[in-house]
Structure 1
Amino acid sequence: MLLLAVMWGLSIPVTKLGLLTLPPLTLTALRFAIAVPLLMLFIVGRQRLSWRALPHVAALGVLGIGIGQVAQTFGVAGTSASVGTIISATIPVFIVVFAALRLKQPVSGRQQLGLLAAFAGIALVALGNEGGTADLFETSVSGAAWVLLSAVTIAFYYVWSVELTDRYGTAAVAAWSTLFGFIALLPWAGWEMRLVPIEITAQALWAAVYLGVVVTVAGLFLWLSILRNVPARIAASVQYLQPVIGIAASSVMFGDTMGAAFVAGVVLILAGLAMTMATRKPAQAG
């Protein structure tokens, strides 16, 4: 669990490193060009997907990658790594909202209070961060909005995937949805490559490999292994460690400074996360 928290907690700071020389769509495409073949290896000859399932799984992939992951990458490009990390930590909060709307799961008064606290924390984090050591790492409202859109989209992706994985299997849905999302992303990445100068450095390749292999593939299967051996409520504690690790790494890597408003926002978001997770079975995040 600690290893997974480190792996996922470093994802946004590493994305920031990749964005130093690669534009957002290109970096995202490179990440999933690495992840897709590895995911497909896990299902070859093991799990098949019915033709009836393909439209649903394809839409899931477009939602999770074409919108969710792309929005996250654009958001990280427009925020400091620490701001991107803490706003992304709200994914479980939005899972509560969508689970209530789509899966008809009840929301207690404590969870409602947690939602309000988390949203107030998002506002403080987005508006109260002091930026980093250079203009590249400063936070814009639009950048924070992109990360927030990513958190909302990925949360819905997880809730919807619960229904699909129950029918068709976790590995098959994960592999095929990632493939369809990657295919949908390719034309946009190609368009970006023709307009924006591309410099594929060793650092950018390292970032793409980390995001594709460690965060996407190894993270997914490590998370599933944890769920098979540890109660879900205990496994979900990894969500509390991710933003802490991400913010610490951002401070070391980029010199992100944390003012009083940012610290207050972090406290509100983590408190809101704790309250929303306190009385329900946690869902996957990462």
Structure 2
Amino acid sequence: MGSFGAMLLLAIMWGLSIPITKLGLETVPPLTLTAMRFLVAVPLLLVLSARQLRLPWQALPSIIALGVMGITFGNVAQSFGVQGTSASVGTIISATIPIFIVIFAAIRLKQHVASRHWVGLFAAFVGIALVAVGSGPGVDDLSETTVAGVAWMLVSAVAIAFYFIWSAELTVKFGLLAVTTWNSLAGLVAILPLAGWEMAHAPVQITTQAIWAIIYLGSMVSVAGLLLWLFILRAVPARVAASVQYLQPVFGVAAASVLFGDQLGLIFATGVALILGGLALAAVNKRSPPEVAVAHN
């Protein structure tokens, strides 16, 4: 598979993650869905990284904290956000992760942020507002967008972007597979008690649809997506590889429209254009260090 084909396939796989999460949330609540997703992903990662799991003890506190931040908090916030937004809105807002990567890279990695980057950030946030207003109701209650849902999606984007930047430093030192496996395990351990509490207080129905959603999120998004991402990073410059994140909303919105009947009007389309244009402008950089674009959780 060529690098372009790999990027296109990854954009489809990751772009479908929000609509697929939406399907899972129809019968499984957010905390439980996230836990089940990583109950699928972690064993697969342990098998794949079996010979690369050794880490110095001093690295474990940072990796565990990273897992709780990115895997537990980031993904739980995303699940609550998806529950409170239409699949189209959730997909577009999740595409703001690169914006926050730019901000955190400037703070943590001391990377320069030019004026065009800030213009891109502003345009994208205006686009978010238009998307939230302009997304019509879908065919069921789960497709309604709420202020809380948009807020949860933004919180998730911030947490995952911070996860990317922090993991960049750790993976350079200890290896991507080892860090990803251990922080995924730490995140799973942290969320299991919360999922247990949720299952005791909220209805959970494990349908065939939910099982397929969980398998897809765990295996295709969290594991296969990671392996494909590694292949892309070896084949093309990181600046080019990172552009795959801007293709995701195209496939996510198209899937949401088919699955949930989301009505995509002119205001919504204008918001999407602003977000994608803002993302592209914010990401423009003459020098794009590979450590910023490390992995997708």
Short-chain TM bin: over 0.9
Report the secondary structure of 1:45's partner residue: helix
Shift of 1:285: 5.9
Q: Is the 8 A contact 1:5 1:238 kept in 2?
A: yes
Partner of 2:293: 283
Counterpart CA distance in 1 for 2:137 and 2:170 is: 40
Shift of 1:5: 0.6
Partner of 1:163: 169
Q: Does 1:237 align with 2:219?
A: no
Report the secondary structure of 2:204's partner residue: coil
Comparing 13-22 with 117-126, greater Cα deviation is found at 117-126
Q: Does 1:224 align with 2:230?
A: yes
Counterpart CA distance in 2 for 1:136 and 1:222 is: 31
Counterpart CA distance in 1 for 2:294 and 2:183 is: 16
Report the secondary structure of 2:50's partner residue: coil
Q: Deviations over 1:128-151 (max 9, x none)?
A: 321211222110010011011001
Counterpart CA distance in 2 for 1:46 and 1:8 is: 25
Gaps of 5+ in 1: none
Q: Does 1:126 align with 2:132?
A: yes
Report the RMSD for the aligned CA atoms in angstroms. Answer: 1.1
Q: Does 1:199 align with 2:205?
A: yes
Match among 52, 60, 69 for residue 66 of structure 2: 60
Comparing 183-192 with 263-272, greater Cα deviation is found at 263-272
Partner of 1:135: 141
Shift of 1:47: 3.5
Partner of 1:113: 119
Comparing 24-33 with 276-285, greater Cα deviation is found at 276-285
Q: Is the 8 A contact 1:92 1:285 kept in 2?
A: no
Counterpart CA distance in 2 for 1:37 and 1:60 is: 19
Matches within 5 A, 1:1-286: 1-279=7-285, 280-281=287-288, 283-284=293-294, 286=296
Counterpart CA distance in 2 for 1:112 and 1:284 is: 23
Q: Is the 8 A contact 2:139 2:261 kept in 1?
A: yes
Q: Is the 8 A contact 1:127 1:141 kept in 2?
A: no
Shift of 1:225: 1.0
Q: Is the 8 A contact 1:85 1:246 kept in 2?
A: yes
Q: Is the 8 A contact 1:31 1:208 kept in 2?
A: yes
Change (3 A) 1:224 1:161: same
Letter in 1 for 2:117: Q
Aligned pair count reads 286
Shift of 1:213: 0.2
Q: Deviations over 1:174-233 (max 9, x none)?
A: 000000001000010000000011110111000000000000000011101110111222
Stretches (4+) displaced over 4 A:
none
Normalising by structure 2, we get a TM-score of 0.94
Shift of 1:284: 4.1
Gaps of 5+ in 2: 1-6
Report the secondary structure of 2:164's partner residue: helix
Q: Is the 8 A contact 1:91 1:285 kept in 2?
A: no
Change (3 A) 1:5 1:229: same
Counterpart CA distance in 1 for 2:146 and 2:134 is: 11
Counterpart CA distance in 1 for 2:165 and 2:52 is: 25
Counterpart CA distance in 1 for 2:197 and 2:53 is: 34
Report the secondary structure of 1:48's partner residue: coil
Letter in 2 for 1:213: S
How high is the sequence identity, in percent, across the aligned residues?
A: 64
Letter in 2 for 1:165: T
Partner of 2:4: none
